[in-house]
Structures are given as C-alpha cells and as structure tokens.
C-alpha cells in the first residue's frame, strides 16, 4: 500500500489544450501570467505547516513528466487543480493521469468553473474527490488537516458522504482578511519571473510580474463570473500593497507590475496612501491598473502618475449605451470619454477593454463601438469575444438570447461560442477582424507602437523573436480581412 505524505499537496495550473499547440498559440506568446491564486494558496498552506508545490502547465506546456516524477517521488496525499472553464477538461485529464500513478491520491478541484457548477461537477466526473467552492486558502487547509470522517464540517466543500450522496457544505460564513495572507509563493513557480510575460506593449521594463490587491467587485454586470467571490469586495491595505511591491523588487528584481484588480481605485483613501508611499519612498517599480470612470479624477490621476503608473485599463465593453444598460453596466459613455481624456492629460497610457457579441449585439451596435473607440485617444485595446461562463448571471437564460455552443475547451473569450439572435458566426468573425484591422492601421496607433521602440524595448524584442508566428496568424485570417 502506498504511503502518502498527507501534509503535502501538488497544485497544478492546467494548460487547457494539447501541448503541441502551445508554440503556435498567439495569446500565449503575447501573455503568460503567473497563477497568483495558486501561489497565494501555497504561501498560506506553507504557513499552516502544509507543504504545497506548484506545476504551471501553461508556463511549461510539457509538464506531464514533471507531474509524474513529482507524484512518484513525493507521494503527496492530494493534488489540487485550479481551472477555468476552458482548462477544466485538461484538468480532468491530469487528474486521471495522477490516479494512474497513485490510485488513492485525493483529487481536489477549485476555480471559477467548479465553483459555479458545484455538485454537477462531482456527479459527472467521478475522478474528482472534492470541489472547493470559492476561495481556497482556508477550505483547503481544513480539508488536508481533518480526518476523512470530519470533512462534512468543512465549509465551502463539495464531496460524497458515506452513503454516496453528493453534498455541498455551503459557502464559508467568514471571508479571509487579505492582509493576513503571506505574499504569494512566487518562488514555487519554476522559472519565475523569466518565463512569465505581461501582455506585449503593456509595460516599459522587464523583468515584470502581476499582482492582485483585492478580491471581488461591488458591481453587478450580467456577464461577469461571480462564482468565486460572489458579491463580496475586499482589498489589501496600502501598507500591504507597498510592501508587496518592495518585496517583488528586492527578491526577484521586478521593475514593473500589473495590478489585475477589477476596481483598483474604488477605495480612494487606500490609493492616496499607496501613492504617497510610492512617491516618498520609491521602490523603483512602475505599475498598471484597471479603474472605473466613476472612481478617478485629475488629482488622483496625477498622483498615480507621480507614483509610477504607466498604463490604465478601463472596461468600456461596447460603445452602444443601450446595450450597456441591458447588461447592468451603468456607465455613461460621455463620462467615460471625459475620463479617458483626463488620463491622457495626466500623461498615462490608456487601454480599452472591449467585448463583441454580447446578447443583444447587432451590426449597428458593433459599428457604434468602432466609431466610439476610434474617436478616443486610446493607446491599446483588448477586444474579447463574449463568452457566457457558468458563474455569470446571463448564463441562466443564455439559450433564449442566441445560439450557444457550450464546448468548454473553446470557452476562452477567443472563440465565438455564443452568437446573438439575428447575427451569424461568419459575420461576427468578419466584424471582429475588421475592428482590429481598422484600429491597428490608424496612423496614430502605428506611431504609438513605433514609439514602443524606446518606451518598451523588451516588447519589441519579443515581437521580433516571434514575428513568424504573428505573421502566420495574420495570414490565416486573410480571408476575413485581417490583412
């Protein structure tokens, strides 16, 4: 009988598709973000006396061998897999692989996909032993520390009881104080920070990394996945944020970070305190953040600039005011225009976050979005293909709103799995490519990217090294008007 190390867990971030395709994945070439959630869990478990190691298959696609060797050598009692919808089935494959090496190892799944589907996951995929719903630190710690007879007392857990019934213990009644969590265990990520790459042309210097200083969002947009944090919104203190940035510089030589918070400036006092520290005691690190128009003004933007803010992202989503209202995205496009001009006035780059294919989308609304965006001094855009995830409110009646092909592996915001009523997939693809082509061929945008030669030389180096892959991607889209 295999002797397991019950106080040891291997945490895995699946790739999400065949490893042979990784080298041709343009999204991956342009952006490899460290799995901060797993690194946070690993640091928390370590403080509680539980060893947690991480294998990031997205950063290291040929990781099956590492997983096998780790399991056979260390014999951990648990393997935990954190999955999005698109990476879930690859996670199931890895779980089966783990069981083939260690039949009695306990398989634990977490992340937004399983947090949304809960019991359905355990019923349909018997290789899974436990599902962690919501945040993982406390639930996973209790699961590992308790005996099998005590798991029914662990909040936030889906499991099978002694009678074979699938049970959910309910959400945790008390959320964790984010300042009590140690800094993420970046050192557990093989090759960090070198193998991780922020979005190309989205940073001035390397090495760089990402941070998260809050969890959740106080707003209720119909398309946002709320399965993990639900309606909660919590954030680190300014002191914690500042020390985190200093730690990244001191320990790993990081020179730029992107804060992937949904609402970085929601608590103004926190950001005023953080910027004061960054200005008074500069750590030599610049940063990006994401904001809502309602929570910025010129004074705050100037403080952010002085503190080292290089780029700000705003969730514009669509330039059709009626469509925004349909999805509870209560943004005034005139206010948004005003705030984008203020960001530029403060000397900060602007990135617009957009979606195409929302329920209710029409060719007219897409044209409105293009007209709106191209009238603004936006430096960069990220145009996603709307995907109805199981944890989003709109998912509940999505089949009434259009044609939905729920093929999980392609639900990554890079495929049109949902087509709004009145539209066709072919036309959606055409409009998507026209949008990008028109944006990148504008003289102002061309000059902007030319300026990256001295503003972000590392981005240009990456682009030149991978230019063949980028050109092949462009040629493959020629029939759709991309070139």
Does residue 152 share a domain with residue 26?
A: yes
Own/partner pairs, 391-397, CB within 8 angstroms, 24+ separation:
391/112, 391/113, 391/115, 391/116, 391/225, 391/226, 391/227, 391/228, 392/222, 392/223, 392/224, 392/225, 392/226, 393/220, 393/222, 393/223, 393/226, 394/222, 394/223, 394/327, 394/359, 395/116
In a domain, 40, yes or no: yes
In a domain, 321, yes or no: yes
Does residue 134 share a domain with residue 211?
A: no
* pLDDT in the model for residue 189: 97
In a domain, 193, yes or no: no
Does residue 351 share a domain with residue 251?
A: yes
Kindly indicate the confidence band of residue 20, based on its pLDDT and cuts at 50, 70 and 90. Answer: confident
* pLDDT in the model for residue 479: 35
Does residue 202 share a domain with residue 141?
A: no
Does residue 246 share a domain with residue 306?
A: yes
In a domain, 330, yes or no: yes
Does residue 397 share a domain with residue 280?
A: yes
Q: What's the predicted TM-score (pTM) here? A: 0.93
Does residue 404 share a domain with residue 318?
A: yes
Whether the per-residue pLDDT at 478 is higher than 60: the answer is no
Does residue 128 share a domain with residue 58?
A: yes
In a domain, 282, yes or no: yes
Domain count, the chain: 2
Does residue 234 share a domain with residue 153?
A: no
In a domain, 192, yes or no: no
* pLDDT in the model for residue 111: 94
Does residue 204 share a domain with residue 161?
A: no
**298-325: average pLDDT:** 95
Q: What is the pLDDT of residues 87-99, one digit of tens each?
A: 999 999 999 999 9
In a domain, 191, yes or no: no
In a domain, 183, yes or no: no
For residue 114, give the CATH number of its domain.
3.40.50.2300
* pLDDT in the model for residue 244: 98
Q: What is the pLDDT of residues 193-243, one digit of tens each?
A: 999 999 999 999 999 999 999 998 877 788 887 777 767 789 999 999 999
The pLDDT mean for the chain works out to 91
For residue 458, give the CATH number of its domain.
3.80.30.20
The residue segments making up the domain with residue 205 are 198-480
Residue where one domain finishes, among candidates 124, 148, 168 = 168
Backbone angles phi, psi at 160, to 5 degrees: -105, 130
């Amino acid at each position: 009988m295999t002797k397991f190390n019950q106080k040891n867990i291997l945490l895995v971030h699946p790739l999400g598709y065949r490893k042979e395709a990784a080298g041709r994945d343009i999204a991956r070439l342009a952006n490899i973000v460290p799995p901060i959630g797993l690194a946070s869990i690993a640091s928390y478990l370590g403080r509680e006396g539980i060893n947690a190691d991480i294998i990031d298959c997205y950063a290291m696609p040929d990781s099956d061998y590492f997983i096998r060797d780790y399991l056979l050598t260390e014999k951990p009692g648990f393997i935990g897999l954190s999955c999005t919808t698109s990476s879930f089935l690859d996670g199931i494959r890895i779980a089966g692989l783990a069981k083939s090496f260690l039949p009695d190892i306990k398989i634990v799944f977490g992340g937004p996909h399983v947090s949304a589907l809960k019991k359905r996951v355990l019923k349909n995929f018997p290789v899974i032993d436990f599902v962690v719903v919501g945040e993982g630190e406390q639930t996973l710690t209790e699961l590992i520390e308790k005996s099998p007879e005590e798991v029914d007392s662990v909040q936030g857990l889906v499991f099978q009881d002694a009678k074979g019934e699938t049970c959910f213990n309910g959400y945790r009644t008390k959320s964790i104080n984010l300042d009590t969590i140690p800094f993420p265990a970046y050192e557990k990520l093989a090759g960090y920070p070198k193998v991780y790459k922020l979005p190309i042309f989205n940073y001035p210097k390397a090495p760089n990394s990402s941070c998260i200083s809050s969890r959740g969002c106080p707003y209720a947009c119909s398309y946002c996945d709320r399965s993990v944090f639900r309606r909660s919104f919590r954030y680190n203190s300014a002191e914690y944020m500042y020390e985190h940035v200093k730690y990244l510089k001191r320990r790993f030589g990081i020179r730029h970070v992107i804060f992937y918070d949904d609402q970085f400036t929601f608590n103004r006092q926190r950001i005023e305190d953080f910027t004061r520290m960054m200005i008074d005691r500069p750590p030599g690190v610049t940063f990006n953040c994401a904001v809502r128009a309602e929570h910025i003004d010129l004074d705050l933007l100037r403080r952010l600039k002085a503190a080292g803010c290089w780029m700000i992202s705003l969730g514009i989503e669509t330039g059709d005011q009626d469509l925004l209202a349909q999805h509870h995205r209560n943004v005034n496009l005139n206010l948004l225009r005003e705030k984008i001009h203020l960001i530029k006035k403060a000397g900060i780059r602007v990135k617009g976050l957009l979606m195409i294919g929302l329920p209710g989308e029409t060719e007219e609304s897409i044209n409105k979005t293009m007209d709106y965006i191209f009238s603004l001094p936006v430096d960069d855009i990220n145009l996603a293909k709307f995907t109805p995830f199981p944890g989003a409110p709109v998912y509940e009646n999505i089949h009434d709103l259009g044609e939905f092909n729920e093929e999980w592996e392609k639900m990554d915001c890079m495929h049109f799995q949902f087509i709004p009523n009145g539209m066709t997939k072919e036309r959606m693809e055409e409009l998507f490519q026209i949008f990008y082509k028109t944006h990148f061929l504008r003289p102002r945008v061309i000059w902007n990217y030319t300026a990256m030669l001295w503003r972000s030389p590392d981005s240009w180096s990456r682009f030149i090294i991978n230019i063949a892959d980028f050109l092949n991607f462009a040629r493959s889209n020629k029939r759709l008007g991309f070139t």
